[in-house]
Chains A and B, each alone.
Chain A
Amino acid sequence: MRKLNTLLTVAFILFCAHSFAQDGKYGYIDFNGTLKLMPEYLEAEINLQKTQSDYREEIERSKREFERQYIEFMLEQDQLSPSIVAKRQKELQLLMDNNAQFRDKVQSDLESMRSELLVPLKKKLMEAIATVCTEQTLDYVVDTGTGTYLYINPDKGVDISQAVYKLVGVEIVPEKIAEQGEPVLNVKAEDDNKTTGKK
Protein backbone atom coordinates (compact mmCIF):
# COMPACT_ATOMS: atom_id res chain seq x y z
CA MET A 1 0.00 0.00 0.00
CA ARG A 2 2.80 2.34 0.99
CA LYS A 3 4.70 1.50 -2.21
CA LEU A 4 1.62 2.20 -4.25
CA ASN A 5 1.31 5.65 -2.63
CA THR A 6 4.92 6.46 -3.47
CA LEU A 7 4.47 5.32 -7.06
CA LEU A 8 1.36 7.45 -7.42
CA THR A 9 3.14 10.49 -6.04
CA VAL A 10 6.06 10.08 -8.44
CA ALA A 11 3.67 9.58 -11.35
CA PHE A 12 1.79 12.75 -10.36
CA ILE A 13 4.98 14.82 -10.21
CA LEU A 14 6.10 13.55 -13.62
CA PHE A 15 2.67 14.31 -15.07
CA CYS A 16 2.75 17.88 -13.72
CA ALA A 17 6.26 18.45 -15.06
CA HIS A 18 5.26 17.11 -18.46
CA SER A 19 2.15 19.30 -18.59
CA PHE A 20 4.15 22.36 -17.61
CA ALA A 21 6.75 21.67 -20.27
CA GLN A 22 4.08 21.33 -22.90
CA ASP A 23 2.14 24.40 -21.90
CA GLY A 24 5.13 26.74 -21.25
CA LYS A 25 5.58 29.16 -24.17
CA TYR A 26 9.09 30.07 -25.13
CA GLY A 27 10.73 32.44 -27.53
CA TYR A 28 14.06 32.29 -29.28
CA ILE A 29 16.54 34.84 -30.55
CA ASP A 30 20.23 35.07 -31.40
CA PHE A 31 21.43 37.43 -28.67
CA ASN A 32 24.89 38.31 -30.01
CA GLY A 33 23.65 38.36 -33.59
CA THR A 34 20.98 40.90 -32.64
CA LEU A 35 23.51 42.89 -30.63
CA LYS A 36 25.63 43.25 -33.77
CA LEU A 37 22.70 44.62 -35.74
CA MET A 38 22.00 47.41 -33.27
CA PRO A 39 22.98 50.93 -34.47
CA GLU A 40 24.83 51.57 -31.19
CA TYR A 41 26.93 48.48 -31.82
CA LEU A 42 28.15 49.81 -35.15
CA GLU A 43 28.94 53.14 -33.49
CA ALA A 44 30.86 51.38 -30.71
CA GLU A 45 32.66 49.25 -33.27
CA ILE A 46 33.78 52.37 -35.16
CA ASN A 47 35.07 53.93 -31.91
CA LEU A 48 36.88 50.76 -31.02
CA GLN A 49 38.46 50.48 -34.45
CA LYS A 50 39.62 54.10 -34.30
CA THR A 51 41.25 53.48 -30.90
CA GLN A 52 42.77 50.26 -32.17
CA SER A 53 44.21 52.07 -35.17
CA ASP A 54 45.65 54.84 -32.92
CA TYR A 55 47.25 52.22 -30.70
CA ARG A 56 48.65 50.34 -33.68
CA GLU A 57 50.20 53.54 -34.99
CA GLU A 58 51.77 54.24 -31.58
CA ILE A 59 53.14 50.69 -31.39
CA GLU A 60 54.64 51.12 -34.86
CA ARG A 61 56.15 54.48 -33.90
CA SER A 62 57.70 52.98 -30.75
CA LYS A 63 59.07 50.10 -32.79
CA ARG A 64 60.61 52.44 -35.38
CA GLU A 65 62.08 54.56 -32.56
CA PHE A 66 63.69 51.50 -30.97
CA GLU A 67 65.11 50.31 -34.28
CA ARG A 68 66.58 53.75 -35.03
CA GLN A 69 68.29 53.94 -31.64
CA TYR A 70 69.51 50.36 -31.91
CA ILE A 71 71.05 50.91 -35.35
CA GLU A 72 72.70 54.16 -34.18
CA PHE A 73 74.14 52.31 -31.21
CA MET A 74 75.47 49.44 -33.35
CA LEU A 75 77.16 51.90 -35.67
CA GLU A 76 78.91 53.92 -33.00
CA GLN A 77 79.47 51.45 -30.16
CA ASP A 78 83.15 50.96 -31.15
CA GLN A 79 83.82 54.62 -30.46
CA LEU A 80 82.06 54.62 -27.10
CA SER A 81 83.65 53.95 -23.73
CA PRO A 82 82.63 50.69 -21.97
CA SER A 83 80.59 52.57 -19.33
CA ILE A 84 78.60 54.41 -22.01
CA VAL A 85 78.13 51.19 -24.02
CA ALA A 86 76.68 49.58 -20.87
CA LYS A 87 74.44 52.61 -20.28
CA ARG A 88 73.10 52.58 -23.85
CA GLN A 89 72.50 48.81 -23.73
CA LYS A 90 70.54 49.24 -20.51
CA GLU A 91 68.49 52.04 -22.07
CA LEU A 92 67.72 49.98 -25.17
CA GLN A 93 66.67 47.04 -23.03
CA LEU A 94 64.40 49.33 -21.03
CA LEU A 95 62.90 50.77 -24.20
CA MET A 96 62.23 47.28 -25.53
CA ASP A 97 60.57 46.25 -22.24
CA ASN A 98 58.45 49.41 -22.22
CA ASN A 99 57.28 48.73 -25.76
CA ALA A 100 56.35 45.14 -24.90
CA GLN A 101 54.53 46.37 -21.82
CA PHE A 102 52.64 48.91 -23.91
CA ARG A 103 51.60 46.23 -26.42
CA ASP A 104 50.15 44.14 -23.58
CA LYS A 105 48.43 47.17 -22.08
CA VAL A 106 46.87 48.01 -25.45
CA GLN A 107 45.40 44.53 -25.67
CA SER A 108 43.85 44.67 -22.22
CA ASP A 109 42.69 48.29 -22.74
CA LEU A 110 40.88 47.33 -25.93
CA GLU A 111 39.22 44.37 -24.24
CA SER A 112 38.05 46.55 -21.32
CA MET A 113 36.85 49.21 -23.73
CA ARG A 114 34.87 46.65 -25.72
CA SER A 115 33.25 45.30 -22.54
CA GLU A 116 32.42 48.79 -21.29
CA LEU A 117 30.91 49.80 -24.62
CA LEU A 118 28.75 46.67 -24.73
CA VAL A 119 27.30 47.03 -21.21
CA PRO A 120 24.54 49.57 -22.09
CA LEU A 121 23.77 47.76 -25.34
CA LYS A 122 23.32 44.41 -23.62
CA LYS A 123 21.14 46.09 -21.00
CA LYS A 124 18.96 47.65 -23.71
CA LEU A 125 18.63 44.33 -25.55
CA MET A 126 17.76 42.45 -22.34
CA GLU A 127 15.08 45.03 -21.56
CA ALA A 128 13.64 44.70 -25.07
CA ILE A 129 13.55 40.90 -24.77
CA ALA A 130 11.80 41.23 -21.38
CA THR A 131 9.24 43.60 -22.90
CA VAL A 132 8.51 41.23 -25.81
CA CYS A 133 8.18 38.31 -23.37
CA THR A 134 5.65 40.26 -21.31
CA GLU A 135 3.68 41.29 -24.38
CA GLN A 136 3.61 37.79 -25.86
CA THR A 137 3.30 36.08 -22.44
CA LEU A 138 6.39 33.96 -22.96
CA ASP A 139 7.88 32.00 -20.09
CA TYR A 140 11.47 31.99 -21.25
CA VAL A 141 13.73 32.79 -24.19
CA VAL A 142 16.35 30.53 -25.74
CA ASP A 143 19.55 32.08 -27.14
CA THR A 144 20.14 30.40 -30.48
CA GLY A 145 23.53 32.03 -30.90
CA THR A 146 25.23 30.00 -28.20
CA GLY A 147 25.25 26.75 -30.13
CA THR A 148 23.80 24.88 -27.14
CA TYR A 149 20.48 24.13 -28.86
CA LEU A 150 21.07 22.00 -31.89
CA TYR A 151 17.40 21.91 -32.78
CA ILE A 152 14.42 24.03 -31.82
CA ASN A 153 11.00 23.24 -33.15
CA PRO A 154 9.66 26.51 -34.60
CA ASP A 155 6.06 25.35 -34.16
CA LYS A 156 6.53 25.13 -30.43
CA GLY A 157 8.58 28.29 -29.93
CA VAL A 158 8.17 31.90 -31.01
CA ASP A 159 10.82 33.73 -32.98
CA ILE A 160 10.99 37.06 -31.19
CA SER A 161 13.74 38.51 -33.39
CA GLN A 162 11.53 40.88 -35.39
CA ALA A 163 9.70 42.18 -32.31
CA VAL A 164 13.00 42.81 -30.54
CA TYR A 165 14.54 44.43 -33.65
CA LYS A 166 11.71 46.97 -33.64
CA LEU A 167 12.27 47.81 -29.98
CA VAL A 168 16.03 48.23 -30.26
CA GLY A 169 15.91 50.13 -33.54
CA VAL A 170 17.33 47.54 -35.94
CA GLU A 171 16.29 48.64 -39.38
CA ILE A 172 18.02 46.07 -41.49
CA VAL A 173 16.14 42.81 -41.57
CA PRO A 174 18.56 39.92 -42.02
CA GLU A 175 18.53 38.80 -45.62
CA LYS A 176 17.77 35.19 -44.83
CA ILE A 177 14.66 36.02 -42.84
CA ALA A 178 13.37 38.38 -45.51
CA GLU A 179 13.92 35.85 -48.30
CA GLN A 180 12.72 32.71 -46.61
CA GLY A 181 9.91 34.16 -44.55
CA GLU A 182 10.37 31.50 -41.93
CA PRO A 183 12.14 31.32 -38.62
CA VAL A 184 15.84 31.01 -39.10
CA LEU A 185 17.59 29.66 -36.10
CA ASN A 186 21.12 29.75 -37.37
CA VAL A 187 21.45 33.52 -37.57
CA LYS A 188 25.16 34.19 -37.74
CA ALA A 189 26.42 34.70 -34.23
CA GLU A 190 29.70 36.03 -32.88
CA ASP A 191 31.45 32.81 -33.64
CA ASP A 192 31.03 31.63 -37.20
CA ASN A 193 31.76 28.08 -36.20
CA LYS A 194 28.76 27.85 -33.92
CA THR A 195 25.85 25.95 -35.45
CA THR A 196 22.19 25.97 -34.59
CA GLY A 197 19.20 23.94 -35.76
CA LYS A 198 16.76 24.85 -38.48
CA LYS A 199 13.57 23.26 -39.57
Chain B
Amino acid sequence: MKKTIIVALMALLPLGAFAQKFGHINSSDIIPLMTEYKTAQTELQTLQKQYEEELDYMNTEYSKKIEDYDKNHETLPENIRTRREQEIMESQQKMQQYYQDCQVNLEKKSQELMGDINSKLLKAIQTVGEEGAYVCIFDISGGVVPFVSSTLTTDVTEAVKAKLGIK
Protein backbone atom coordinates (compact mmCIF):
# COMPACT_ATOMS: atom_id res chain seq x y z
CA MET B 1 0.00 0.00 0.00
CA LYS B 2 2.81 2.36 0.97
CA LYS B 3 4.55 1.42 -2.24
CA THR B 4 1.46 2.36 -4.30
CA ILE B 5 1.22 5.77 -2.61
CA ILE B 6 4.90 6.49 -3.23
CA VAL B 7 4.55 5.57 -6.92
CA ALA B 8 1.49 7.80 -7.27
CA LEU B 9 3.32 10.71 -5.63
CA MET B 10 6.33 10.15 -7.92
CA ALA B 11 4.01 10.26 -10.92
CA LEU B 12 2.42 13.56 -9.85
CA LEU B 13 5.68 15.24 -8.92
CA PRO B 14 6.79 16.20 -12.46
CA LEU B 15 3.40 17.83 -13.13
CA GLY B 16 3.75 20.04 -10.08
CA ALA B 17 7.39 20.77 -10.82
CA PHE B 18 6.64 21.88 -14.37
CA ALA B 19 3.29 23.76 -13.65
CA GLN B 20 2.93 26.75 -16.05
CA LYS B 21 1.47 30.06 -14.84
CA PHE B 22 -1.14 31.92 -16.88
CA GLY B 23 -2.71 35.25 -16.00
CA HIS B 24 -5.55 37.36 -17.18
CA ILE B 25 -6.69 40.98 -17.00
CA ASN B 26 -9.56 43.01 -18.33
CA SER B 27 -8.04 46.12 -19.91
CA SER B 28 -11.41 47.88 -20.07
CA ASP B 29 -11.48 47.80 -16.26
CA ILE B 30 -7.99 49.27 -16.00
CA ILE B 31 -7.77 51.88 -18.78
CA PRO B 32 -10.58 54.17 -17.49
CA LEU B 33 -8.76 54.36 -14.17
CA MET B 34 -5.50 55.58 -15.71
CA THR B 35 -4.65 59.28 -15.25
CA GLU B 36 -3.53 59.50 -18.89
CA TYR B 37 -6.94 58.25 -19.99
CA LYS B 38 -8.72 60.96 -18.02
CA THR B 39 -6.39 63.62 -19.47
CA ALA B 40 -6.96 62.27 -22.98
CA GLN B 41 -10.73 62.32 -22.50
CA THR B 42 -10.61 65.94 -21.37
CA GLU B 43 -8.42 66.85 -24.35
CA LEU B 44 -10.77 65.12 -26.79
CA GLN B 45 -13.83 66.73 -25.23
CA THR B 46 -12.22 70.18 -25.47
CA LEU B 47 -11.39 69.58 -29.13
CA GLN B 48 -14.89 68.33 -29.84
CA LYS B 49 -16.37 71.40 -28.15
CA GLN B 50 -14.20 73.70 -30.29
CA TYR B 51 -15.34 71.91 -33.42
CA GLU B 52 -18.98 72.07 -32.36
CA GLU B 53 -18.72 75.80 -31.67
CA GLU B 54 -17.12 76.40 -35.06
CA LEU B 55 -19.83 74.34 -36.76
CA ASP B 56 -22.44 76.39 -34.90
CA TYR B 57 -20.77 79.56 -36.17
CA MET B 58 -20.79 78.22 -39.73
CA ASN B 59 -24.40 77.21 -39.39
CA THR B 60 -25.36 80.68 -38.15
CA GLU B 61 -23.60 82.28 -41.14
CA TYR B 62 -25.33 79.83 -43.46
CA SER B 63 -28.74 80.64 -41.93
CA LYS B 64 -28.08 84.38 -42.33
CA LYS B 65 -27.37 83.87 -46.03
CA ILE B 66 -30.56 81.83 -46.49
CA GLU B 67 -32.63 84.38 -44.60
CA ASP B 68 -31.23 87.25 -46.65
CA TYR B 69 -31.79 85.33 -49.88
CA ASP B 70 -35.39 84.46 -48.98
CA LYS B 71 -36.09 88.07 -48.18
CA ASN B 72 -34.62 89.58 -51.36
CA HIS B 73 -34.38 86.96 -54.10
CA GLU B 74 -37.50 88.08 -55.93
CA THR B 75 -36.16 91.57 -56.48
CA LEU B 76 -32.62 90.54 -57.34
CA PRO B 77 -31.40 90.55 -60.94
CA GLU B 78 -30.73 87.10 -62.40
CA ASN B 79 -26.91 87.18 -62.26
CA ILE B 80 -26.81 88.46 -58.68
CA ARG B 81 -29.39 85.89 -57.62
CA THR B 82 -27.18 83.20 -59.15
CA ARG B 83 -24.20 84.59 -57.26
CA ARG B 84 -26.10 84.43 -53.95
CA GLU B 85 -27.28 80.88 -54.68
CA GLN B 86 -23.70 79.93 -55.42
CA GLU B 87 -22.58 81.46 -52.10
CA ILE B 88 -25.25 79.51 -50.20
CA MET B 89 -24.28 76.26 -51.90
CA GLU B 90 -20.60 76.85 -51.16
CA SER B 91 -21.39 77.57 -47.49
CA GLN B 92 -23.30 74.32 -47.25
CA GLN B 93 -20.49 72.36 -48.88
CA LYS B 94 -17.89 73.97 -46.62
CA MET B 95 -19.95 73.06 -43.58
CA GLN B 96 -20.25 69.42 -44.66
CA GLN B 97 -16.55 69.28 -45.46
CA TYR B 98 -15.63 70.81 -42.13
CA TYR B 99 -17.86 68.35 -40.27
CA GLN B 100 -16.11 65.44 -42.00
CA ASP B 101 -12.68 66.96 -41.30
CA CYS B 102 -13.62 67.30 -37.62
CA GLN B 103 -14.63 63.65 -37.43
CA VAL B 104 -11.36 62.56 -39.04
CA ASN B 105 -9.29 64.83 -36.76
CA LEU B 106 -11.07 63.62 -33.63
CA GLU B 107 -10.57 60.00 -34.65
CA LYS B 108 -6.89 60.64 -35.38
CA LYS B 109 -6.36 62.43 -32.09
CA SER B 110 -8.16 59.67 -30.19
CA GLN B 111 -6.00 56.99 -31.83
CA GLU B 112 -2.87 58.96 -31.05
CA LEU B 113 -3.78 59.41 -27.38
CA MET B 114 -5.05 55.84 -26.96
CA GLY B 115 -1.87 54.55 -28.60
CA ASP B 116 0.22 56.11 -25.82
CA ILE B 117 -2.13 54.75 -23.12
CA ASN B 118 -2.08 51.22 -24.58
CA SER B 119 1.72 51.29 -24.76
CA LYS B 120 1.93 52.20 -21.08
CA LEU B 121 -0.55 49.46 -20.12
CA LEU B 122 1.30 46.88 -22.22
CA LYS B 123 4.58 47.77 -20.53
CA ALA B 124 2.98 47.30 -17.07
CA ILE B 125 1.53 43.90 -18.09
CA GLN B 126 4.91 42.80 -19.43
CA THR B 127 6.60 43.79 -16.17
CA VAL B 128 3.99 41.86 -14.12
CA GLY B 129 4.42 38.87 -16.46
CA GLU B 130 8.19 38.87 -16.14
CA GLU B 131 8.21 39.42 -12.39
CA GLY B 132 5.54 36.74 -11.75
CA ALA B 133 7.10 34.31 -14.27
CA TYR B 134 3.88 34.02 -16.23
CA VAL B 135 3.88 32.17 -19.53
CA CYS B 136 1.09 34.32 -20.86
CA ILE B 137 -1.32 37.04 -19.67
CA PHE B 138 -4.59 37.24 -21.54
CA ASP B 139 -6.72 40.32 -22.02
CA ILE B 140 -10.31 39.12 -21.67
CA SER B 141 -11.86 42.39 -22.88
CA GLY B 142 -13.08 42.72 -26.41
CA GLY B 143 -13.64 38.99 -26.95
CA VAL B 144 -10.30 38.45 -28.71
CA VAL B 145 -9.66 35.31 -26.67
CA PRO B 146 -12.78 33.09 -26.94
CA PHE B 147 -12.36 31.45 -23.51
CA VAL B 148 -10.15 32.02 -20.51
CA SER B 149 -10.69 29.96 -17.38
CA SER B 150 -10.93 32.20 -14.35
CA THR B 151 -9.91 29.34 -12.07
CA LEU B 152 -6.93 27.97 -14.02
CA THR B 153 -5.48 31.45 -14.75
CA THR B 154 -4.61 34.13 -12.23
CA ASP B 155 -6.29 37.50 -12.26
CA VAL B 156 -3.35 39.93 -12.34
CA THR B 157 -5.49 43.07 -12.60
CA GLU B 158 -4.47 44.36 -9.18
CA ALA B 159 -0.78 43.77 -9.89
CA VAL B 160 -1.03 45.66 -13.18
CA LYS B 161 -2.95 48.49 -11.48
CA ALA B 162 -0.23 48.71 -8.88
CA LYS B 163 2.44 48.96 -11.59
CA LEU B 164 0.45 51.80 -13.15
CA GLY B 165 0.13 53.59 -9.84
CA ILE B 166 -3.64 53.11 -9.65
CA LYS B 167 -4.94 52.77 -6.13
**Do the beta carbons of B80 and A54 come within 8 Å of each other?**
yes
Q: Which residues of B contact A102 (CB under 8 A)?
A: 83
Q: Which residues of A contact B50 (CB under 8 A)?
A: 80-81, 83-84
Q: Which of A75-98 contact B (CB under 8 A)?
A: 80-81, 83-84, 87, 91
| Interface band, chain B | 10 to 19
CA distance A69 to B98 in the complex (A): 18
Q: Residue on A with the closest CB to B98?
A: A87
The listed residue (B54, B61, B77, B98) touching A54 by CB distance below 8 A is: B77
Secondary structure at the B interface, as helix, strand, loop or mixed, is helix
Query: A-side interface residues toward B, CB under 8 Å?
Result: 51, 54-55, 58, 69, 80-81, 83-84, 87, 91, 102, 109
Q: Which residues of A contact B98 (CB under 8 A)?
A: 87
Q: Which residues of A contact B76 (CB under 8 A)?
A: 54
CA distance A190 to B80 in the complex (A): 30
CA distance A94 to B94 in the complex (A): 12
For the complex with contacts A54-B77, A54-B80, A81-B50, 6 further pairs of A-B residues with Cβ separation under 8 Å are A54-B76, A58-B80, A58-B83, A84-B50, A84-B54, A102-B83
Q: Which residues of A contact B61 (CB under 8 A)?
A: 69
Q: Which residues of B contact A87 (CB under 8 A)?
A: 54, 98
Q: Which of B68-98 contact A (CB under 8 A)?
A: 76-77, 79-80, 83, 94, 98
Q: Residue on A with the closest CB to B50?
A: A81
CA distance A55 to B79 in the complex (A): 9
